[in-house]
Amino acid sequence: MISATTLRSVLGAFALSTIATTGAWAQEKITVPSEEAVAATEVPTDAIVVNIEKMKFQTPELTIKAGETVYWVNNEVMPHNVAFKKGLVQESEFRGDMLSKDEAYAITFNEAGTFDYFCTPHPFMRAKVIVE
Ligand code: CO
């Protein structure tokens, strides 16, 4: 099933012509509830959270179940994002919206796997999500 939000996230990551020729929707491994960063105050109190502080993802390795949503929250002034190399979303890198201080970004993981990620402006910032 492809939700409207998934469709928008893919359209943001790919040239329209690529989609038209491949149409590989079944490979979608994530759903993005919101393409844009949201206020950290909107993160549910019982959410699975990875805090970003001191130029690090504070949970280097996070294990979740398929279908669960991870919220990244930036707690410092330096902007950060969450980016995945190709393979998570078809054949392109996936870049989450840049997070200012006290902003959050959510990704729902639909399939099992190990997903390494990094911060685009700071590639030394690395961590992983393991989906069981
Ligand atoms: Co960063």
Span 75-102, average pLDDT: 88
Ligand 1 center to 71 CA (angstroms): 15
The CA distance from 126 to 63, in Å, is 15
Of 24 and 72, more confident: 72
Look at residue 70 in the predicted model and tell me its pLDDT: 98
103: confidence class by pLDDT, cuts 50, 70, 90: very high
Ligand 1 center to 34 CA (angstroms): 20
As a whole number, the mean pLDDT across the chain is: 83
Ligand 1 center to 16 CA (angstroms): 29
- CA-based nearest residue to 115, from 125, 130, 95: 130
For residue 45, which amino acid is it? Answer: T
Look at residue 30 in the predicted model and tell me its pLDDT: 87
The CA distance from 89 to 31, in Å, is 10
Ligand 1 center to 24 CA (angstroms): 31
Yes or no: say if 86 and 92 are a contact pair by the CB < 8 Å rule.
yes
